[in-house]
């Protein structure tokens, strides 16, 4: 199902002289199989917006619906389980656990859901194989390249089969080759697995895989452009 934001606003220090409107009346709909790219200057509200869309931060006003569920109405103690089952997060800094192997890092969300360790590790290995990391599955993060770490992070985000993937600067710490590889992995995932994908980035190359490019300034969506997804995506005809 779609990710839908309707009139989402986030105000810090509301009613005080120091009041800041970090997100200002934002509405958008990202359907399954679509990739939206959020761009804009630092401090424009991009990360605040994606954090709200992922249920990690509450909105001051507005409604966010993920997989048919209004997450703005969920109680605080219900949100972690909802995120675990419905939303995958891919972080700029990878956020891998240094003491665990790639397989163990990917398996963590399944184990958190109550799946047995044996089955979780089996599924993690299968997913790493799909992402081309079969021969690196027993390596710890210190022994992986930046591109490999990001693919492990992608696998961890996918392991629970979430409807929505949210990526914050996924290519920022990667060189050109690895950045392109990660971009195309996200492209394939969106199309082949019918995920709604939102990427926050300053990397203009990501326009190549995006269906829509949304510009954020002062917390507002100020401009919308067509991305080049249909021209460059080798998976488009699989949708």
Q: CA-CA-CA-CA torsion for 166, 164, 158, 181, nearest 10 degrees?
A: -50
- Decide if pLDDT at 17 tops 90: no
pLDDT for residue 239: 42
- Decide if pLDDT at 13 tops 90: no
Q: Are 106 and 127 in contact (CB under 8 A)?
A: yes
Q: Which range marks the domain in which residue 90 is found?
A: 3-238
Taking 3-state DSSP, the helix, strand and coil percentages for the chain, each rounded to the nearest 5, stand at 40, 25, 35
Helix axis angle, 102-112 to 146-158, nearest 10°: 20
The length of the chain is 239
Indicate the number of domains in the chain. Answer: 1
Rounded to an integer, what distance in angstroms lies between the CA atom of residue 228 and that of residue 236? 11
pLDDT tens digit string along 24-57?
Answer: 999 999 999 999 999 999 899 999 999 999 999 9
Q: Please compute the mean of the pLDDT values over residues 159-185 and round it to a whole number.
A: 89
Q: CA-CA-CA-CA torsion for 74, 68, 37, 20, nearest 10 degrees?
A: -30
Give the pairing type, strands 3-12 and 69-70. Answer: unpaired
Average pLDDT score, the chain: 92
Looking up residue 169, the CATH number of its domain turns out to be 3.40.50.300
């Amino acid at each position: 199902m779609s990710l839908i934001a309707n009139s989402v606003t986030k105000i810090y220090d509301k009613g005080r002289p120091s009041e800041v409107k970090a997100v200002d009346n934002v509405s958008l709909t990202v359907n399954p199989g679509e990739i939206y790219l959020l761009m804009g200057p630092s401090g424009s509200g991009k990360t605040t917006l994606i954090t709200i869309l992922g249920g990690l931060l509450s909105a001051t006003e507005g409604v966010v619906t993920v997989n048919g569920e209004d997450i703005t109405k969920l109680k605080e103690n219900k949100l972690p389980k909802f995120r675990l089952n419905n939303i995958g997060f891919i972080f700029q800094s990878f956020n891998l656990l240094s003491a665990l192997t790639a397989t163990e890092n990917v398996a963590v969300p399944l184990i958190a859901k109550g799946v047995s360790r044996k089955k979780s590790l089996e599924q993690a290995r299968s997913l790493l194989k799909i992402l081309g990391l079969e021969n690196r599955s027993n390596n710890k993060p210190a022994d992986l390249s930046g591109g490999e770490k990001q693919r492990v992070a992608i696998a961890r985000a996918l392991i629970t089969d979430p409807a929505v993937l949210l990526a914050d600067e996924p290519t920022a710490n990667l060189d050109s080759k690895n950045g392109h590889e990660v971009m195309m992995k996200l492209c394939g995932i969106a199309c082949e697995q019918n995920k709604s994908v939102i990427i926050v980035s300053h990397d203009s190359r990501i326009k190549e895989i995006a269906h829509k490019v949304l510009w954020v300034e002062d917390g507002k969506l100020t401009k919308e452009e067509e991305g080049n997804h249909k021209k460059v995506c080798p998976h488009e005809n699989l949708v």
